[in-house]
Structure 1
Amino acid sequence: MSFTLQFEPVLAETDLILNGIKLTILLSAGAIILGTALAILLVGLRSLAGGILAFCVDAYVELLRNTPFLVQLFMIFFGLPLLGLRMSGIEAGLLAMTLNLSAYSTEIIRAGVDSTHKSQLEAGLSLALSRLQVFRYIVLKPAFAKVWPALSSQFVLMLLASSICSFISVPELSGSAAIVEQRTFRSFESYIIVTIAYLVIALTLKLGLIGLGHVLFGKRVKPDVIPAIATKGSAA
């Protein structure tokens, strides 16, 4: 029995595949931006507020980190309509990706925040900075510099996890591949092209994040610079 690869029928559906790639990139970019912003907020609440708010943040993180992303996606897409909140598959996918990424990113950023030496916090407070200013000027940026490789890896994993959104008929790259397969009956060829596409997108994102990390954190904040930063924050 001989088998011959036939890419022509699959390549004839290039527009559909390109639309899937575009949607995958948009979903991932939206989830990375919104998820990181939410994670910073949660880390700030946990560090500055304490008490019941810190407990709620911890509960949120543990809930999302210890349940499958697919279950979270189904709970949002099929469960929220029962409460009167209806959304499209794309909106549900973006929300699920944002919440899932925020939980993992919160734990990663928290590790960087907790590594900040106590003397740096005391130096900021001694200069009459508020706790929010200390968190912003002294804690947050050095924390990001320390955990950026781990955070970048989580971003790439979230990009790849976007394929799960095809389970709720979101026409991202994996969803588009399923449609192409149904139209052409060329399963192997369809997923070879999709595999290459995911590889290119993931490596491009990885290199972009490495470059961004070099731009943002290439020059580490030295201990003797902290008072100058703190003074600037106090004046603000």
Structure 2
Amino acid sequence: MMHDFGIVWSERDLMLSGLGNTTILSVLSAAAALFFGFVLTPALMAKQRWLAFTARIFVDVMRCVPFLLFAYIVYYGLPSLGLRLDNWTSGLAALTIYNAAYMAEILRGAWAAQPREPIEAGIAFGFSHIALFRRIILPPLLLAAGPVLGNQIIQIIKDSAFLTIIAIPELTHAASSIQSRHYVPFAAFITAVFLYWGLCLVIEAGVSQVGRLADARR
């Protein structure tokens, strides 16, 4: 057994490269999904029925489609429509679009739960829509939604493992490569599990810090 882990250690450059790619994919897609979530949230809460309905349809479809199937559609299906993306761009796009729907729903729920008094006071003081959102709505919104957003980022990290199906050299792909060449499935995949766990612990530490900031503001 220790010999198997020794083989994985000898392939540490490949594992670390996979870990690095997973981290980059997760960070970029989480940031982009959060941005598009902010764009979608006002649409979900819009008074115009057609806009709210369109945004709701998108969110509901993304939340009901398995991510693996959606990744297949982006990578294998879009070329049928004339849109060809390389595997890295396809993976990033799939993670971003899919998780933007979850981010939007999380932010919508947190926004709806915010007290109206600060917003009404900001309007009374003459804040524009952008300034009102940036200075009055956004800070408490992020603090309130922080723990749930952190959970969604962890889900993004886990979803990134599915991208091995389109040959993105992320962590699961690296572990599979080591296993297929050296026949050490337990050692390769357990090592990957602990590396994923390490990434999630970093996110959990950030969420805890946001929670402490939110408690300090109360």
The residue type equivalent to 2:81 in the other structure is L
Q: Is the 8 A contact 1:60 1:103 kept in 2?
A: yes
Over residues 70-117 of structure 1, what are the superposed CA-to-partner deviations in whole Å (9 max), with x where a residue is unaligned? 111011001111111111111111111111211111111111110122
Cα offset, 1:198, TM superposition:
1.1
Q: Is the 8 A contact 1:36 1:102 kept in 2?
A: yes
Q: Is the 8 A contact 2:33 2:96 kept in 1?
A: yes
Output the TM-score relative to the length of structure 1: 0.85
CA–CA distance in structure 2, aligned partners of residues 106 and 96 of structure 1: 16
Over residues 43-83 of structure 1, what are the superposed CA-to-partner deviations in whole Å (9 max), with x where a residue is unaligned? 13334563322221111111101110011101100111111
Output the TM-score relative to the length of structure 2: 0.91
Q: Is the 8 A contact 1:44 1:135 kept in 2?
A: no
Go from structure 1 to structure 2 and tell me whether the alpha carbon gap of 1:38 and 1:68 turns closer, same or farther (over 3 Å shift): same
**Which residue of the partner structure matches residue 96 of structure 1?**
94
CA–CA distance in structure 2, aligned partners of residues 133 and 18 of structure 1: 43
Indicate the percent of aligned positions where both proteins have the same amino acid: 28
124, 140, 148: which one aligns with 2:138: 140
**Which residue of the partner structure matches residue 36 of structure 2?**
38
Q: Is the 8 A contact 1:65 1:104 kept in 2?
A: yes
**Which residue of the partner structure matches residue 10 of structure 1?**
8
**Which residue of the partner structure matches residue 60 of structure 2?**
62
CA–CA distance in structure 2, aligned partners of residues 36 and 15 of structure 1: 31
Query: Any stretches of 5+ residues in structure 1 without a counterpart?
Result: 223-236
CA–CA distance in structure 2, aligned partners of residues 216 and 35 of structure 1: 23
Paired positions, count: 218
Query: Any stretches of 5+ residues in structure 2 without a counterpart?
Result: none
The residue type equivalent to 2:7 in the other structure is P
Q: How does 1:108-147 map to 2 (within 5 A)?
A: 108-147=106-145
- What SS is found at the alignment partner of 1:7? helix
Of stretches 117-126 and 147-156 in structure 1, the one that deviates more from structure 2 is 117-126
Q: Is the 8 A contact 1:20 1:175 kept in 2?
A: yes
**Which residue of the partner structure matches residue 210 of structure 1?**
208
1:24 to 2:18 alignment: no
Q: Is the 8 A contact 2:40 2:55 kept in 1?
A: yes
161, 181, 185: which one aligns with 1:163: 161
Q: Is the 8 A contact 1:160 1:202 kept in 2?
A: no
- For the aligned residues, what is the CA RMSD? 2.0
